[in-house]
Amino acid sequence: MSSALQPDRFRFLHIDLNSFFASVEQQLHPEYRGKPLAVVPTMTDTTCCIAASYEAKELKIKTGTQVGEAKKICPEIILIEGSHTVYAQYSKAINDAVHLVCPVAHNPSIDEMCCELIGREQEPPRARKIALDIKQAIYKNVGEALRCSIGMAPNRYLAKIASDMQKPDGLIGLLPSQLPRSIAHLELRDLPGVGARTETRLKTKGITTMEQLLALDRTAMHNLFDSVWGDRMYHWLRGGITGDDGAPLPNDMQKSLGHSHVLAPELRTEEGAWAVANKLLHKAAMRLRMEKFYTSSMSVVIRYQLTREQAERLQSKRHTSGIRHSGWGMEARFLECQDTLTLLEVLRGIWSHRPKEKELTRPFFVGVTLRNLIPEDEHQETLFGDPDNRMQLAATMDKLNQKYGHTTLHFAGMLPARESAPTRIAFTQIPVQYGVDYM
Ligand SMILES: [Mg+2]
């Protein structure tokens, strides 16, 4: 792909809030501005900072620094027990502010937004103006302590990279005509999706620098990653658009992990299906940990056996076994986790939304799938993330579920249930609130 042939346009803006949690605290408490501050999950020295203000970062206190260590470096550091509710509210407010300037196409995380530019907006001077207007809108409508770095690029992958190249308050554009040399100075770890484990794997294959990576042709990239990811990355790094631009980035590298099961006739009851779903989840959760992943999304499918007469009324589908059925499915997003207890809570939440119609009492098929797999070493310690204290994590999930209730759940669009029974099944359709979509 010759980048020289592409016009110099920016199709995507990636907005990344700088030190988001810490900045929100500085917004709420003007007396903390300009001071080293860290957000912590609980007030103990043994826990780790989940966010640090820029003043703290200058002292080399960052996300992951142990609180005891942070206090040693800076005895006067301000420690704040974080509130996810408040950060979610700010995330929503920032989204709304950005939206006034340009529609938000995608929220990769609580402090990131992605906008797709169209028509003449893609011309670099106009794109730059939009980016500056976004910064202003956040500053004016949400708060002056909130700064962001914005990356402009021909695809989402590069836009995310660009948003990381200048902090705080950055604005970087990667023009197709200057690619890939404008990113040749980066580290491999600067690439979204390349964490410690992938970096090690690349090293064993002789690739230790970005220049070496960029010297590879497409086939070599494919072989290096041993997947279509290599091909995609080859194009993305050169400003290409692969049509995968709508999908979440780093997670694409991973597969989903799940199990499904056709129930034995004696298990085709509410209780039987629930028991099977539990068993499938336990199996999937065990595999998740064995394969060293975290997950932030679960989908559940239930298929209900219908009588011939019901099937005629409900426009059913026919399973390979010949059983006429109507399907139902739901997906839930939540904080990255890998413990069975938390996942069971999620399963319970989804399960409570299953259809209650009188025709749908004979479940004969259950499937549980974990998606958005995140390699263990790329797992970001989040506010309530405490993998060693699973009880506490599960309790937090309960709290979140009570607080946020249905916004944590939404339908998986790909599921066949809606077409198969458009009016008979009363779906509890729940909108996804993207600012908090990973909870
Ligand atoms: Mg950020």
CATH for 359: 3.30.1490.100
Expressed in angstroms and rounded, the spacing between residue 202 Cα and the centre of ligand 1 is: 26
Residue 314, phi then psi, degrees to nearest 5: -100, 10
Same-domain status, 162 and 196? no
Has residue 246 been placed in a domain? Answer: no
Q: How far apart are CA 224 and CA 216, in angstroms?
A: 9
| Cα-based angle 304, 350, 193 (whole degrees, multiple of 5) | 115
Same-domain status, 152 and 56? yes
Same-domain status, 20 and 162? yes
Has residue 22 been placed in a domain? Answer: yes
Could you list the residue range(s) of the whole structural domain that residue 218 is in?
Answer: 188-237
Of 262, 304, 260, whose CA–CA distance to 283 is shortest? 260
What burial class does residue 430 get, using C-beta atoms within 10 Å of its C-beta: 0-12 exposed, 13-18 middle, 19+ buried?
Answer: middle
- What CATH number does the domain containing 119 carry? 3.30.70.270
Residues less than 5 Å from ion ligand 1, measured at CB:
16-17, 111
Has residue 298 been placed in a domain? Answer: yes
Expressed in angstroms and rounded, the spacing between residue 173 Cα and the centre of ligand 1 is: 18
DSSP class of residue 298? E
Instruction: Mark which of 124, 152, 176 sits at the end of a domain.
Output: 176
Expressed in angstroms and rounded, the spacing between residue 214 Cα and the centre of ligand 1 is: 26
Query: Collapsing DSSP states into helix, strand and coil, what is residue 419?
Result: helix
Q: How far apart are CA 51 and CA 385, in angstroms?
A: 13
Same-domain status, 322 and 232? no
Q: What are the distances in angstroms from CA 269 to CA 181, 275, 323, 341, 425?
A: 61, 10, 16, 24, 18
Expressed in angstroms and rounded, the spacing between residue 26 Cα and the centre of ligand 1 is: 15
pLDDT recorded at residue 416? 27
| pTM across the whole model | 0.60
Expressed in angstroms and rounded, the spacing between residue 162 Cα and the centre of ligand 1 is: 13
Expressed in angstroms and rounded, the spacing between residue 262 Cα and the centre of ligand 1 is: 44
Per the structure, the count of domains in the chain is 3
Has residue 181 been placed in a domain? Answer: no
Same-domain status, 40 and 119? yes
Has residue 249 been placed in a domain? Answer: no
Of 6, 246, 11, whose CA–CA distance to 130 is shortest? 11
Has residue 242 been placed in a domain? Answer: no
Same-domain status, 296 and 432? yes
CB 67 within 8 A of CB 40: yes
Same-domain status, 153 and 201? no
- Other Cβ atoms closer than 10 A to 5: 8
Has residue 346 been placed in a domain? Answer: yes
Expressed in angstroms and rounded, the spacing between residue 16 Cα and the centre of ligand 1 is: 5
Give the count of alpha carbons within 13 A of 384, CB side only.
Answer: 22
Expressed in angstroms and rounded, the spacing between residue 11 Cα and the centre of ligand 1 is: 21
Same-domain status, 41 and 79? yes
Pairing of strands 51-52, 37-40: antiparallel
Expressed in angstroms and rounded, the spacing between residue 19 Cα and the centre of ligand 1 is: 6
Has residue 380 been placed in a domain? Answer: yes
Same-domain status, 172 and 195? no
Same-domain status, 212 and 160? no
CB 412 within 8 A of CB 299: yes
Same-domain status, 232 and 327? no
Query: Collapsing DSSP states into helix, strand and coil, what is residue 322?
Result: coil
Q: How far apart are CA 179 and CA 240, in angstroms?
A: 10
Expressed in angstroms and rounded, the spacing between residue 321 Cα and the centre of ligand 1 is: 50
Q: Digits of tens for pLDDT over the chain (439 positions)?
A: 444 456 899 999 999 999 999 999 999 999 999 999 999 877 888 888 888 999 999 999 998 888 999 999 999 999 999 887 888 889 999 999 999 999 998 887 788 999 999 999 999 999 999 999 999 999 999 999 999 999 999 999 999 999 999 999 999 999 999 999 999 999 998 998 787 778 888 999 999 999 999 999 988 998 898 777 787 889 899 998 766 554 444 433 456 788 888 888 888 898 889 988 988 888 888 878 877 788 989 999 999 988 887 777 766 777 666 778 888 888 888 888 888 888 988 999 999 989 888 888 899 899 999 988 877 777 766 555 444 455 444 444 444 444 443 323 323 322 222 222 222 222 222 222 222 222 1
Paired residues of 409 in beta bridges:
332
Residue 63, phi then psi, degrees to nearest 5: -55, 130
Expressed in angstroms and rounded, the spacing between residue 18 Cα and the centre of ligand 1 is: 5
Q: How far apart are CA 189 and CA 431, in angstroms?
A: 35
Expressed in angstroms and rounded, the spacing between residue 150 Cα and the centre of ligand 1 is: 10
Expressed in angstroms and rounded, the spacing between residue 17 Cα and the centre of ligand 1 is: 4
Same-domain status, 172 and 192? no
Expressed in angstroms and rounded, the spacing between residue 438 Cα and the centre of ligand 1 is: 15
Q: How far apart are CA 179 and CA 314, in angstroms?
A: 55
